[in-house]
Amino acid sequence: MTRPQLKKIAFVGDYLPRKCGIATFTHDLRASIAQASGAECIVVPMDDIAGGYDYENEVQFQVNEQDIEDYRAAADFLNFSNVDIVCLQHEFGIFGGPCGSHILALLQDLRMPIVTTLHTVLSEPSQTQRAVMTQLIRLSTRLVVMTERCRRTLINTYSVDSAQVDLIAHGIPNAPDTDQKVLKEQFNVENKAVALTFGLLSPGKGIEHVLQAIPEVVARFPDFIYLVLGATHPNLVREQGERYRISLERMAKELGITKHVSFYNRFVELEELTEFIGAADLYITPYLNVQQAVSGTLAYAFGCGQAVISTPYWHAEELLADGRGVLVPFADSAAIAREIIGLIGDDERRLAMRAKAYALGRSMRWGHVSELYLHSFRRAREQLSSQLKPLAVRTLDEQPLALPKLQLDHLRRLSDSTGVVQHAIYTIPDHAHGYCTDDNARALILTVLLEEQGKESAELHSLASRYAAFLNFAFDRDTCRFRNFMCFDRRWLEENGSDDAQGRALWALGTCIGRSRRAGLSAWARELFHRAMPACEETTSPRTWALGIMGIHEYLQRFSGDRAAATMSQRLADRLIAMYDSVATDDWPWFENIATYNNAKLSQSLITHGRWSDDQRAVEIGLKSLRWLCEKQLSPQGRFRPIGSNGFSREGGVAAVFDQQAIETYAMISSSIEAFAVSKDMFWNEQAHLAFDWFLGRNDLGQPIYDAATGGCNDGLMENRVNENQGAESTLAFLLSLVEMRAHSATLRVNSTSP
């Protein structure tokens, strides 16, 4: 049988000059494959910064890692570029969406074989991680792992057919034949015993445990020096600055070892890296994660014939077996000191270890590894040669409904140093009406949801801090309630805010606690949360109870064992259920004799509470009342029609058609998504899209409510026209709807079982 010829190969993953291990691996793999095969090798990298990086010419298409549409566009680009095979580098954390699920949108549209290199294979994945891996495995023609442990985990944990898996070691460069004495003189460490650790710094690397071992080492070898080579991980720098590196430097000073430690705070190129490795007497990887499937730095040092001391994470445990290195327990400074002393003091043992490492390392050279990859590529082509559909056309039924791009310009326009302004005259902020807690709570929730979806930026953090500061100032420490309305000159217009403001503020606090990774924001919110929670129970407003339940649920995502919070949620839910039981009939299955505003939140709160507390009656009432509300909010033309604020809907009467408000639409979208999560009934998915389309013009007037030019949302639908003012409530209702719809679409993609 004639082997399929590989003329064009595409590599998908991070790529240099982005500073990360995957970027380096993709670059080196692509270069070695191009040299070995003669094929055209193009690259589609993921960008984690605006505008991407200054790539070389082989990069022909770039993907914003958080933009789902970029992934779909990349698939179209590859399909129409006559690519023979796609080689994907997969690692959790480098793709957008829940657990990197955005990459599935690219893979499911590709019409050529996919060979996926798995840089991490988790033995105990979360539910979402497992769902993403299951889809990734299904969409990949072949899978490449770098250790036998990962191969076994794929087979045992994910039920992968062993015939689909290729075991190929992490590639390493050819090590130059250099004189160690010359290299030590070059780095001014001649006549010193040198240990080296290199790679991007982050707390999981365990450098502090090596530092704590050094006093014992220098007591035996006074000329010992420890080189820590590598810049702090860029993501860590963006989130925390150089806090970790500074803490290591302070630790070295406190331990009295500053003469024995050297930090090189930069990302070094391959040639310089091999010189550092050659100058060292031994290499240390004190990593703290046992499930680390592969370490490029370990592979490089080992393959260059270095003596290695390592903690027993998966890759090290396998690579250093049979005397090829030394394993020490995790976070055990005494063991690290003992082994450093042992290896430095025993030249014969250390040199024998280096010889064993070098011998195995010859099979890890990129020249050999690239041939193994090409063999895997050819097998993938043979497997799918009769099934290729490079230019298949997708009908609308075969692809998810498109969502607008996220646009925050108008929210920025409405926000100043105090918070978000309530109203606008057309698109111009209306300072005459000042601010309110309700809108700043909504805005804070939005920023946290965006953070959760990977949209972090200094600007977003700044906006979140402003909205949080407003809520902090709004909270009256004496009454433990939030004031609501503030005029533009920062004077409060009331002593006690509305009941709704209490519930909505608690919802925002709970969201900060349950979802934000910003430690300061979460700690602040937790301090206020417990003081603010009782105010929700003290009201007689069912909507406040509902909003309170939503906030408590968010809080319980992080502190599920808090009995006081769980008990409060139960009491509020019991009140809503009692209200429903006292009013509901077969024809009017609702909580009150009138359906007014923010209606769907009443149903959603019971669905949410019941889902997480295993209260089936709460779920049943929530779903039944919400389905009735869907029917009530459906126009004769089959479009979403929220109950109008000009009269609402009384039992036995006719529901008001106008004025239709964005807050009602958002409540229905959010509630439908929650209903789908608990029931998996596609009716709710359709209802969420039906309601969302109200913003886009599928409404009674056929006019768009969302303004794509400004990123704002008009203040509702009146009888004969759209209210063209773009206030905070409407704009935030749309933005929250969009963010939740994006998350919902990602969840559907992860859990899809279509072939």
Q: Does 418 map to a domain?
A: no
Instruction: List the end-to-end C-alpha distance of the chain, in Å, as a whole number.
Output: 29
Q: Does 137 map to a domain?
A: yes
Average pLDDT over residues 402-407: 88
Task: Specify the 3-state DSSP secondary structure of 196.
Answer: strand
Helix or strand holding residue 368 (H, E)? helix 366-384
Helix or strand holding residue 35 (H, E)? helix 21-37
Average pLDDT over residues 88-104: 93
Q: Do the strands 165-167 and 225-229 form a parallel or antiparallel pair, or are they unpaired? A: unpaired
Distances (CA, A) of 512 to 444, 446, 448, 731: 8, 10, 6, 21
- Which of 364, 394, 420 represents a domain boundary (last residue)? 364
Phi/psi class of residue 638: alpha, beta or left (left: φ > 0; alpha: ψ in -120 to 50)? left
Are 214 and 322 contained in the same domain? yes
Largest CA distance in the chain: 95
- Which CATH number is 712's domain given? 1.50.10.20
Contact 490, 501 (CB under 8 A): no
For residues 198 and 203, give the distance between their C-alpha atoms in angstroms, rounded to a whole number. 14
Are 67 and 19 contained in the same domain? yes
Is residue 136 scored above 60 in pLDDT? Answer: yes
Expressed as residue numbers, the domain containing 605 is 593-749
Q: DSSP labels for 618-685?
A: HHHHHHHHHHHHHHHTB-TTS-B-PPPTTT-EETTSPPP--SB-HHHHHHHHHHHHHHHHHH--HHHH
- Which of 522, 550, 583 represents a domain boundary (last residue)? 583
Average pLDDT over residues 193-218: 93
Q: Label residue 401 by pLDDT band (50, 70, 90).
A: low
Average pLDDT over residues 25-47: 96
Report pLDDT for 188.
Answer: 84
Q: Does 60 map to a domain?
A: yes
Q: Label residue 718 by pLDDT band (50, 70, 90).
A: very high
Q: Does 70 map to a domain?
A: yes
Are 138 and 198 contained in the same domain? no
Q: Label residue 396 by pLDDT band (50, 70, 90).
A: very low
For residues 269 and 130, give the distance between their C-alpha atoms in angstroms, rounded to a whole number. 36
Contacts for 24-28: CB closer than 8 Å, 24+ residues apart = 24/296, 25/89, 25/117, 25/119, 25/170, 25/171, 25/296, 26/89, 28/171, 28/173, 28/366
Q: What does the block give as tokens for 93?
A: 């954390």
Mean pLDDT score of the chain:
92
Q: Does 600 map to a domain?
A: yes
Report pLDDT for 550.
Answer: 98
Task: Specify the 3-state DSSP secondary structure of 469.
Answer: helix
CB count, 10 Å around CB of 753?
Answer: 8
Contact 142, 311 (CB under 8 A): no
Helix or strand holding residue 194 (H, E)? strand 194-198
Report pLDDT for 177.
Answer: 66
Q: Which of 200-204, 269-273, 505-509, 535-539 has the lowest mean pLDDT?
A: 269-273
Q: DSSP labels for 567-619?
A: HHHHHHHHHHHHHHHHH--SS--SSSSEE-SSTHHHHHHHHHHHHHHT-HHHH
Determine phi and psi for 172, rounding to 5 degrees: -135, 155
Contact 97, 751 (CB under 8 A): no
% pLDDT > 90, the chain: 79
For residues 644 and 216, give the distance between their C-alpha atoms in angstroms, rounded to a whole number. 76
| Residue type for position 663 | I
For residues 483 and 745, give the distance between their C-alpha atoms in angstroms, rounded to a whole number. 36
Report pLDDT for 751.
Answer: 78
Q: Does 452 map to a domain?
A: yes
Residue recorded with tokens 């992860």: 750
Helix or strand holding residue 44 (H, E)? strand 40-44
For residues 270 and 289, give the distance between their C-alpha atoms in angstroms, rounded to a whole number. 26
Is residue 475 scored above 60 in pLDDT? Answer: yes
Report pLDDT for 755.
Answer: 36
Are 36 and 148 contained in the same domain? yes
Are 206 and 226 contained in the same domain? yes
Q: Does 421 map to a domain?
A: no
Report pLDDT for 272.
Answer: 78
Report pLDDT for 268.
Answer: 74
For residues 595 and 645, give the distance between their C-alpha atoms in angstroms, rounded to a whole number. 10
Report how many domains make up the chain: 4
Are 351 and 490 contained in the same domain? no
Q: How big is the chain, counted in residues? A: 755
Distances (CA, A) of 698 to 691, 702, 703, 741: 9, 5, 7, 17
pLDDT single digits (tens) 332-348: 999 999 999 999 999 99
Report pLDDT for 649.
Answer: 96
pLDDT single digits (tens) 540-584: 999 999 999 999 999 999 999 999 999 999 999 999 999 999 999
Task: Specify the 3-state DSSP secondary structure of 289.
Answer: coil
Report pLDDT for 19.
Answer: 87
Chain-centroid distance of CA 686 in Å reads 26
Nearest to 78 by CA among 97, 103, 50, 54: 103
Most confident by average pLDDT, 313-327, 346-360, 397-411, 565-579: 565-579
For residues 353 and 466, give the distance between their C-alpha atoms in angstroms, rounded to a whole number. 58
Report pLDDT for 304.
Answer: 86
pLDDT single digits (tens) 742-753: 999 888 888 764
Helix or strand holding residue 263 (H, E)? strand 261-264
Is residue 696 scored above 90 in pLDDT? Answer: yes
Q: Which of 109-123, 227-241, 546-560 has the lowest mean pLDDT?
A: 227-241
Sheet order of strands, 114-118 included: 40-44, 8-12, 85-90, 114-118, 142-145, 165-167
Q: Do the strands 594-595 and 649-650 form a parallel or antiparallel pair, or are they unpaired? A: antiparallel
Q: DSSP labels for 398-413?
A: GSPPP-PPP--HHHHH
Residue burial 566-586, b: 16+ Cβ < 10 Å; e: rest: bebbbebbebbbebbeeebee
Q: Does 408 map to a domain?
A: no
Q: Which of 110-119, 179-188, 621-630, 656-665 has the lowest mean pLDDT?
A: 179-188
Report pLDDT for 753.
Answer: 44
Where does residue 628 rank: exposed (0-12), middle (13-18), buried (19+ CB within 10 A)?
middle
Q: Label residue 522 by pLDDT band (50, 70, 90).
A: very high
Are 196 and 48 contained in the same domain? no
Is residue 127 scored above 80 in pLDDT? Answer: yes
Are 162 and 191 contained in the same domain? no
Report pLDDT for 176.
Answer: 66
Average pLDDT over residues 647-663: 96
Higher pLDDT, 693 or 19: 693
Report pLDDT for 393.
Answer: 53
pLDDT single digits (tens) 271-311: 778 888 888 999 999 999 888 778 888 998 898 889 999 99
Are 27 and 69 contained in the same domain? yes
CB count, 10 Å around CB of 385?
Answer: 11
- Which of 312, 332, 364 represents a domain boundary (last residue)? 364
Are 599 and 704 contained in the same domain? yes
> Half-sphere exposure (CA, 13 Å, Cβ side) for 558?
17
Report pLDDT for 199.
Answer: 85
- Which CATH number is 351's domain given? 3.40.50.2000
Q: In sequence order, what are the residues at sequence separation of 6 or more whose Cβ sits closer than 8 angstroms to the Cβ of residue 394?
A: 109
Are 188 and 156 contained in the same domain? no
Report pLDDT for 4.
Answer: 57
Are 217 and 333 contained in the same domain? yes
Q: Label residue 489 by pLDDT band (50, 70, 90).
A: very high
pLDDT single digits (tens) 148-160: 999 999 999 999 9
